[in-house]
Amino acid sequence: MTAYHQPVLLLESIEALDIDPRGLYVDVTFGGGGHSREIVSRLEVPGKLFAFDQDEEAVGNVWEDPRLDFIPSNFRYLQRFLRLRGADQVNGILADLGVSSHQFDAGERGFSYRFDAMLDMRMNAREGRTAADLLNDLDEGELQRIFGTYGEVRNAKTLAQAVVARRNRLPFLRISDLTTLLEGLAKGNRMRYFSQVFQALRMEVNQELDALEDFLVQAQRVLKPGGRLVVITYHSLEDRMVKNFFKTGNVRGELEQDFYGNINRPFQVLTKKPVLPSAEEIAVNPRARSAKLRVAEKV
Ligand SMILES: C[S@@+](CC[C@H](N)C(=O)[O-])C[C@H]1O[C@@H](n2cnc3c(N)ncnc32)[C@H](O)[C@@H]1O
């Protein structure tokens, strides 16, 4: 455990990788390196872990180790970077999606309504549009879709209208510009409402579902037969995508047949139901509460 991030479902996910000490592994969400450390500790050269993170602050958690190769990139480019490293096929891949506690707790990154700073929310602070940009630029229908679908915000239409009315007077810049607006619209649990809206914006800013789909498709290609894919999600849409992908090889969950009518089943699913954190883990680390772990083995 580090102050940067406390790893979730740590032993469950590492055991699920079924590590061969001399194999090649990938942790596509390095963060504070909690999962990576456990994987590396089970490896011996030429065994190696390739670790990805698109947040340049995660680099500060990397340690010198011949068994660790850190790649400061979005995991949607998984296959390209592995190929550049001469690692076309790997034994196992872990993804622990979402944001780290560090990102959430560093007020200036703009992920949390608990602070006032620029309304940013980019995991990769070097590129892309900020949350403020989206609020200022997207049309009302798009905003409604984002709030409704990603945040499951009940008054998504009213909120989208209020965003447009506000930006016609003054553009969004800071977190407080948004929270002031939300104060007037929150019904019931205010914190929950704020979290839903912030989560929705974060997912859009970072194109999280698109990146997940790109990742899953490439993970299937780069895994050796018998290789394990282990994914921890924190959002129902992500969990559904992973579940569908494991069953059918596509995130929509559409069964595909080959020319002879054989159904394509690229994985053997090892978790019929997702593995959830124990009550003890949630008590120690409340941020684990929405985690779901799924494991599949490439056929
Ligand atoms: C939940 S944290 C991972 C924590 C890590 N397992 C640990 O034990 O410290 C998620 C991390 O993944 C990174 N991340 C999220 N989406 C990413 C993407 N598309 N490409 C690369 N990194 C991503 C975030 O920047 C964050 O550091």
**70-127 confidence digits (pLDDT tens):** 999 999 999 999 999 999 999 999 999 999 999 999 999 999 999 999 999 999 999 9
The DSSP 8-state label assigned to residue 145 in this structure reads H
Select from 6, 10, 35, 53 the residue to mutate for testing ligand 1; criterion: most ligand atoms less than 8 Å from CB: 53
C-alpha distances in angstroms, 9 versus 26, 84, 238? 17, 31, 17
Largest CA distance in the chain: 61
Select from 8, 14, 36, 100 the residue to mutate for testing ligand 1; criterion: most ligand atoms less than 8 Å from CB: 100
Going from N- to C-terminal start, the domains of the chain cover 10-101+208-298, 125-205
- Which residue type, as a one-letter code, is found at position 99? V
- The packing angle between helices 208-222 and 190-205, to 10°, is 60
In this structure, are residues 29 and 95 in contact, taking their beta carbons and an 8 Å threshold?
A: yes
Tokens of 4: 């940067």
Helix (H) or strand (E) holding 224: strand 223-233
For ligand 1, what atom is nearest to the CA of residue 215? 19
**DSSP secondary structure of 166-204:** HHHHS---BHHHHHHHHHTT--S-HHHHHHHHHHHHHHH
Question: Measured between alpha carbons, how far is 198 from 281 in angstroms, rounded to an integer?
Answer: 25
Question: Measured between alpha carbons, how far is 132 from 123 in angstroms, rounded to an integer?
Answer: 14
- Name the class of domain 10-101+208-298: alpha beta
Residue 176's pLDDT is what?
A: 98
* 3-state SS assignment for residue 264: coil
Task: Measure the CA dihedral 196/202/207/210, to 10°.
Answer: -30
Confidence grade of residue 187 (pLDDT, cut at 50, 70, 90): confident
Ligand 1 neighbour 31 (Cβ under 6 A): yes
Question: Measured between alpha carbons, how far is 282 from 113 in angstroms, rounded to an integer?
Answer: 22
Residue linked to tokens 């992920």: 111
Residue linked to tokens 């929705």: 200
Select from 5, 6, 11, 29 the residue to mutate for testing ligand 1; criterion: most ligand atoms less than 8 Å from CB: 29
Residue linked to tokens 């969004």: 172
Residue 78 burial class via C-beta count within 10 angstroms: exposed 0-12, middle 13-18, buried 19 and up: buried
CATH of domain 125-205: 1.10.150.170
- Answer yes or no: is pLDDT of 10 > 90: yes
Residue 18: name the closest of 243, 296, 272 by CA.
Answer: 296
Tokens of 266: 């690229």
How far is the centre of ligand 1, averaged over its atoms, from the C-alpha of 127 (Å)? Answer: 16
Tens of pLDDT along 13-33?
999 999 999 999 999 999 999
Confidence grade of residue 2 (pLDDT, cut at 50, 70, 90): low
Residue whose CA is at the smallest distance from ligand 1 atom 13: 29
Residue 243: name the closest of 264, 262, 218, 270 by CA.
Answer: 270
**Residue % of the chain over a pLDDT of 70:** 99
Mean pLDDT confidence for 208-225: 98
For ligand 1, what atom is nearest to the CA of residue 211? 19
Tens of pLDDT along 159-177?
999 999 999 999 999 999 9
Phi-psi region of 188 (alpha: psi -120 to 50; beta: other; left: phi over 0): left
